[in-house]
Structure 1
Amino acid sequence: MLEFLKVNVEDLEEYMKVKIDAFSEDVRVYGFGPTGYDEMDKLREAIKKFPIYKMVLDGKIVGGMSCFNQGNGEFWLGGIYIDSAHQNMGIGAKAIRFLEQEFHEAKVWRLDTPYKNYRNHHFYEKMGYVKIGETEPRKDKGGFYLYLYEKKM
């Protein structure tokens, strides 16, 4: 059984292991992961401020996600990640649907994802997101940039 539950302090170690595993492909491709993705102190502070969820399958944390209410019905999907052993099982699609139901007041969802992460592009587009732009390439990160996506509800 798959459940989406808020992360608590007792979950942090297991949650962090899953998050690091989920972003290992980005680290391999780009040489780094999202800013602060592997910093326990940042996660500890974030769970006090924002809705951060764990994806629990048969009692085991297999992924996580966060979102931010930016006001005026605009929400930012801060991250969605599933450990490598549980990808391509439909968990991500269920997670997106969960967030859309949980935050039914959202009129617009936005997110960003790395430019070479073709699997993410396909996934978000399948879920109804449309590419609306790109960030400027970062010279300090070897030209790395992000695609920006949006979904109007």
Structure 2
Amino acid sequence: MKNMKISLLPLQADDREQFIRDNQEAFNYGAMIEFGLRDNHFEEDDEIISLATIEESIDNGTAYRIMQDGQPVGGIIVKVEGCHGELEILFVSPKAHSKGIGYAAWCEIERMYPAVKVWETVTPYFEKRNIHFYVNRCGFHIVEFFNSHHPDPRDTNEPSGDQFPEGMFRFEKKLP
């Protein structure tokens, strides 16, 4: 999938609700694959990632729809300050998994933000697909493991690690 043709379009206000629903569907899919219907990692009823969390990321970052052949197949939210970038959210529709879309979207983000020299993101310990994607496909390195004994000092919403007490990995990618 080297030459995957995708585009990133800035999120439009009239697509915000669908973007949020698509994001929640993608995150819930990952949890269901790992845990089945017995999942207890929800931020709010039936949602791994809450409406408030997604809206905060959209409002404080820059959101894009990942488009393929004119159709939305995912989304990405980044927050950039100078040479530091945070990948807040990246999701691909479960129907479009394993087609190179996420990797193509990530390559496009790097192209769009050439001034960023350090990218950072986090993912729950159970998201094996994400861990593989960030480390083996995108070139990130695991640099920290947040858990109940080592909470994320920036996470004011979950100071005790209640949502993912088993942990969250923090990744960094340093560019030349």
TM-score by length of 1: 0.85
Please give the root-mean-square deviation of Cα atoms over the aligned residues, in Å.
2.5
Which of the numbers 146, 165, 168 marks the counterpart of 1:135? 146
- Which structure 2 residue ranges, 5 or more long, are not aligned? 149-159
1:75 aligns with 2:79: no
Deviations 1:115-145 (A, max 9, x none): 1111111111121111111112345336231
Query: Greater CA deviation, 133-142 or 9-18?
Result: 133-142
TM-score by length of 2: 0.74
- Which structure 1 residue ranges, 5 or more long, are not aligned? none
In the TM superposition, 1:28-39 aligns within 5 A as: 28=32, 29=35, 30-33=39-42, 37-39=49-51
Give the aligned partner of residue 98 of structure 1. Answer: 108
Give the aligned partner of residue 134 of structure 2. Answer: 124
The whole-number CA distance in structure 2 between the counterparts of 1:113 and 1:23 is: 11
Which of the numbers 97, 101, 104 marks the counterpart of 1:87? 97
Give the aligned partner of residue 71 of structure 2. Answer: 60
Deviations 1:46-94 (A, max 9, x none): 54542111111222211001111244x1111101001100011100111
Give the aligned partner of residue 7 of structure 2. Answer: 3
Give the aligned partner of residue 155 of structure 2. Answer: none
Give the aligned partner of residue 17 of structure 1. Answer: 21
The whole-number CA distance in structure 1 between the counterparts of 2:52 and 2:105 is: 23
The whole-number CA distance in structure 1 between the counterparts of 2:122 and 2:164 is: 18
The whole-number CA distance in structure 2 between the counterparts of 1:42 and 1:125 is: 24
The whole-number CA distance in structure 1 between the counterparts of 2:81 and 2:43 is: 20
The whole-number CA distance in structure 1 between the counterparts of 2:53 and 2:43 is: 15
- Go from structure 1 to structure 2 and tell me whether the alpha carbon gap of 1:141 and 1:40 turns closer, same or farther (over 3 Å shift): closer
Segments of 4+ moved more than 6 angstroms: none
- Go from structure 1 to structure 2 and tell me whether the alpha carbon gap of 1:12 and 1:124 turns closer, same or farther (over 3 Å shift): same
The whole-number CA distance in structure 2 between the counterparts of 1:33 and 1:152 is: 31
Return the offset for 1:148: 0.8
Give the aligned partner of residue 166 of structure 2. Answer: 144
* 2:169 match: secondary structure: strand
Q: State the AA in 1 paired with 2:134.
A: Y
Larger strand share, 1 or 2: 1
Which of the numbers 103, 110, 121 marks the counterpart of 2:120? 110
Instruction: Tell me the matched-pair count.
Output: 151
